[in-house]
Amino acid sequence: MHTVVDLFIKPRTKAHSGTCGLALTWNAEQPKKVEKFVSHSWSGRFECFVETLSRNLRPQTVVFVCSFALPQNLDVGPILGNDLEMTPFAQAHDVASDVWLIVDNSVDVIDRVWVIYEMYLSLQRNKPIHMGLTTAGVEFRGKIMEKVQSVDVRKTKATKQSDLDLIKAAIAGKEDTLNSKIREELEEKVHQQHEHARFLPRFSHSRASSA
- Residue 208 is predicted with a pLDDT of 35
Quote the mean pLDDT of the chain: 89
Could you tell me which of 126, 133, 135 has the C-alpha nearest to residue 190? 133
> What pLDDT, in 10s, does the model give residues 117-138?
999 999 999 999 999 999 988 9
Cβ atoms of residues 193 and 102 within 8 Å: no
> Quick one: average pLDDT of 58-86?
89
**Whether the predicted pLDDT of 150 surpasses 90:** yes
**Whether the predicted pLDDT of 97 surpasses 60:** yes
- Residue 11 is predicted with a pLDDT of 96
Question: What are the extents of the domains in the chain?
Answer: 2-210
> Quick one: average pLDDT of 43-71?
95
**Whether the predicted pLDDT of 26 surpasses 90:** yes
**Whether the predicted pLDDT of 9 surpasses 90:** yes
CA 56 to chain CA centroid, nearest Å: 13
Concatenated DSSP letters of 104-116: -TT-GGGGBHHHH
What percent of the chain has pLDDT above 90? Answer: 77
**Whether the predicted pLDDT of 113 surpasses 90:** yes
> What pLDDT, in 10s, does the model give residues 154-195?
999 998 899 999 999 999 999 999 999 999 999 999 988 766
- Any residues with CB less than 8 A from the CB of 181 and at least 6 apart, and which? 123
Instruction: Output the pTM of the full model.
Output: 0.88
* Band (197; pLDDT cuts 50, 70, 90): low
> Quick one: average pLDDT of 12-34?
92
Cβ atoms of residues 156 and 164 within 8 Å: yes
User: What whole-number distance in Å separates Cα of residue 124 and Cα of residue 106?
Assistant: 27
Helix (H) or strand (E) holding 101: strand 98-103
- Residue 60 is predicted with a pLDDT of 94
